[in-house]
Amino acid sequence: MATEMHRARRAPPPTIKTLAEMTGYSIATISKALRESPVVAPATRDLIFKAAREVGYQANARGMALRTGKSFQAAVLMPVTAARDYEWDGVEYTQTLSGISQALDGTDYRMSVHVIRDAADGAEAARRIVDQGLADGLIFSGILAEDPRIDLLVAEQFPFVSMGRCRKDIDYAHVDIDNEWAAHAATARLIAGGHRRIALVNPERRLSYALDRIDGFARAFREAGLDAPMELIAEGDLSTHFGRQTVIDFLQRDDAPTAFVCINESTTLGVLSGLGSLGRQVGVDVDVIAYDDINVSAYFTPPITTFYQPIEVLGRTLGQFLLRRMEGEDPAALRQVFRPTLIARQPDNLGGRLIQS
């Protein structure tokens, strides 16, 4: 019995001959249909593809590549820091990759992940992928204000979708968060609650979305007729340690902030840790608003007000756009900017209470 089970597990995969026997069409017709040849009627092609799905038929990738000139690889550049003891590295990328994988499921494309260390490494990887034909399209994030990857891929007319937008006026496919709006909405909410000394825990401003966040932060103060406390913008690596140290440093000031706007879950966790170490309580001594893309903010103690955007949705949209881009669709039609949803868990009006007292 064990031998029979072993043989069953090693049953040969279905072939074109299998599909011919199932459908009654010739091997030549099956082959042409799988290549989507126009000589095969659409109804016949649909029937053959249906049979292929039912038996789990997969075309030989090497053979398809030779016939079509395609690699059937969708490349993703995944940044991994070289810094030691970085607590949050790669957490959000698993959700992004999951979303992309969902979009590619059921297609001939497979995802290939290329690990990179920084923007320069990413530019080299993009050049290598283009020059060596390692993939038919590319997805990447961590967009710089002036990003050489975008310049390269636009010049080469190579299909790509970026997670984020550079600051140049160029036509390319992208998916993004409206970071200017999110920072403005968070800051304006705190200003309406009476806060005037608000800190922005932000990434380094070489990143495009860091500048978007600063723009939104400053606009909220400008619209309120107030001077923005630009000296309370902290820039760092977005680690938990960075968030904690920012709080400890800022709360030693004579004109310490009464509220913090955090760029991600990692810095938020650090901010809460720093407040706890100083004996400060969220909602009592200091207010905090965060941005969340992997749905962990509800588990913070206490739960804090958050702007939430599921990163898996972003990943799925990236994958869908890349498939359309690889089919030749105009990149100008492949743009989507999401606005996160406000999840209010704190009144964020500590500043008002301080002013009244």
Structure tokens at 43: 């109804």
Report the DSSP beta bridge partners of residue 294. Answer: none
Structure tokens at 214: 């600063």
Sequential pLDDT tens for the chain (357 residues): 444 444 444 556 777 788 888 899 988 888 778 766 777 888 898 898 888 878 777 665 555 555 566 889 999 999 876 555 555 555 667 889 999 999 999 888 999 999 998 888 999 999 999 999 999 999 999 999 999 999 999 999 999 999 999 999 999 999 999 999 999 999 999 999 999 999 999 999 999 999 999 999 999 999 999 999 999 999 998 889 999 999 999 999 999 999 999 998 889 999 999 999 999 999 899 999 999 877 777 788 888 899 999 999 999 999 999 999 999 999 999 999 999 999 988 775 554 344 332
Q: Give the list of residues 6+ apart from residue 284 with CB closer than 8 angstroms, or none.
A: 350
Answer whether 222's CB lies under 8 Å from 252's CB: no
Q: What are phi and psi of 283, to 5 degrees?
A: 85, -10
Answer whether 318's CB lies under 8 Å from 174's CB: no
pLDDT tens-digit map of 156-188 = 999 999 999 999 999 999 999 999 999 999 999
